[in-house]
Structure 1
Amino acid sequence: MVPLPPETLFVGGVFLASALALAVGTAVFLPDRTLRSLAREFLSTDWKYIGVAWAVTYAVNEVARRFHADRMFTESVYEVEGTAVAVFQTVTSPRLTLFFTGAYLVGFPFVVLFTYFKLKAHDEQEAHRYALAYVALVLLAVPFFLLFPVRIPSLYVAEVRPLMLDVSPVVRAGIFATDTLVKAFPSLHTGLSVLAALYARSVGGRYARFAAVLAFVVVLSTLYLGVHWLTDALFATMLVAPAYYLSRRVDPDRVLRLPARR
């Protein structure tokens, strides 16, 4: 039997872990729904909104990978904050690294995707606004990915270790195969997690609190793992404001040119 390439194992592992997280999240936060019912709703309607968000994200990643400026601006970020991000690796351990790697690879897609379904269960239009805000935030990052490419700190600063890349050869191969590692600024892991937590406030209750905590953990994971600079996280958080503002004042169905379900 021919062994699967590590890149395939990485993508498959992240997908299965994320699917399991969604199943658990559905049981805990949407007890009146099943994963099957969410899948049916996705295939009937939600794919239009989630699909647009995914397509935009994929396109942005491809554009950033192929057309970013040759000149790196990592030195400019380093001049601003120096080795400050190394503080987040003051205390490290294999278990802590595995925890934050899980938050980065699985917790992030969970909070971003499940927030849509949680919002829809309470207010479908609110879920559509969230999808629009997601697309807006990703598009706002494009000029910086293209014109201001920045390497991740763990591949630039000697004091910062690439903890996630050292978890296993599979993770290392998967990360290098799916990420350019030169679009650290701004951090979409930070921006999209904060956006999800912001929108989750409208549903209130346990999920709003859980989303806020998970978003914080995801942001912390980017710093602990040496994947992003403090500057990346701070600027991404600032970009959330215009994306949120736009989504509250524009009809998402009209902008995305998708009919609202009746």
Structure 2
Amino acid sequence: MDFSMWMLSLFDWLMFFIAALLIGMSKTGIQGISLLSIPLMVMVFGAKPSTGIILPILCFADLIAVFYYRRIAKWKYILKLLPSAFIGFGIALLVDKIIPPEGFKQLMGICLLIVFLFMLWSESKGKENNISTHWWYAPLFGILGGFTTMIGNAAGPVLAIYLLSMKLPKYSFVGTNAWFFLVINYLKIPVQVIAWNNINTTSLILDAFAIPFVIVGGILGIQLVRRLPEKGFKYFTIIMTFISVLLLII
């Protein structure tokens, strides 16, 4: 696949590097920012091809995040989500055979809108909300997470809502998020190479240019999350989710 046809302007490169910076910031703690990278990449590459560009960048950023937060993950939550996430993978592959590529952007937006509305509803319930204790809660988020990460690397808000509902402290939240996506994103690589054929030598060379921006973003994320209070961390995630949903649907 020749990506040069999509990279014809300085503006395209700028959007690409900004997306890489946002991904690095998100992975090291500023949850939700990476969602802004999705519409930027979709705008430059198209909805479905952009998933193959973003995934290697995400995988590199995952390594940075896990290296820094490697000892503070809550594995019991990760293990509850992973089995059903594989079901979400399968659903996404099935949808791929039904929905044309131009429909992927709208599909991503609809999925994120559902997640966002659930977030608002959950917040409105406050301490009276005990839905997270139901047996189907974690599998539901696992399926939705697996589905959205396959169709558009857009599972960030899904996991964010789940971990927020578990009332994890800020750093436990970030560490658990880092390890979950390290596992899930690396498992996606053979699927996208074999089934979707949107990761190749050309795309990997393009991704290599993003590495410095991912590293800078990772450092910025670490510094910024230290300065965010617990409530600020939570509300920042909600705001970023809302902005990203608007960018994908409008």
Normalising to structure 1: TM-score of the pair? Answer: 0.26
Question: Higher Cα Rg: structure 1 or 2?
Answer: 1
Q: Which has the higher helix share?
A: 2
Structure with more contact order per residue of length (Cα contacts < 8 Å, sep ≥ 6)? 2
